[in-house]
């Protein structure tokens, strides 16, 4: 898995070797950011919920987002997000919260220009968070 655009384009990201994380593919991320680019030229703050590898938020940072908060409840995923941020040089432009999305939403008080949410298919709590 690699970053598809921006200053970190081509950088490989680490992916956990388990079935808990289903990373968004390069092709899908490229399509998402192509659509976003046609809607706005800039966003400053992003939020990556159910972040997994952090690929969506890191892609945003690569494409000039100023700050991204990452949320994932799996400690292995949080460690991989931190490793990926360090690898591409974005550690100082992000914070990783290792807790449930429901809990994070009780204390995250920033305003975000973009929110990414790519939850596991089998997570029943997702419906409550969306509504």
Residue 127: its pLDDT value, please? 60
Return averaged pLDDT per consecutive 10 residues of the chain, 131 residues in all.
Answer: 91 80 78 83 88 94 95 95 97 97 92 88 65 51
pLDDT score of 37: 82
Residue located via tokens 């100023």: 66
Whole-number pLDDT of residue 110 = 86
Provide the residue count of the chain. Answer: 131
**Domain annotation for the chain: domains and CATH numbers:** 26-130 (3.40.50.150)
Q: Alpha-carbon distance 88 to 74, whole Å?
A: 21
Integer Cα distance of 67 and 112 in angstroms = 9
């Amino acid at each position: 898995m690699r970053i598809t655009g921006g200053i970190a384009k081509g950088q490989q990201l680490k992916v956990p070797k388990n079935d808990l994380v289903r990373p968004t593919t390069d092709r899908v991320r490229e399509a998402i950011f192509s659509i976003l680019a046609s809607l706005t030229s800039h966003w400053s703050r992003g939020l990556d919920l159910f972040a997994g590898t952090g690929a969506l938020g890191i892609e945003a940072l690569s494409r000039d987002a100023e700050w991204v908060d990452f949320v994932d409840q799996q400690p292995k995923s949080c460690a991989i997000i931190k490793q990926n941020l360090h690898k591409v040089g974005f550690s100082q432009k992000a914070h990783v919260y290792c807790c449930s999305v429901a809990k994070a939403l009780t204390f995250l008080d920033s305003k975000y220009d973009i929110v990414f949410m790519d939850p596991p298919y089998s997570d029943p709590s997702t419906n409550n968070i969306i509504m």
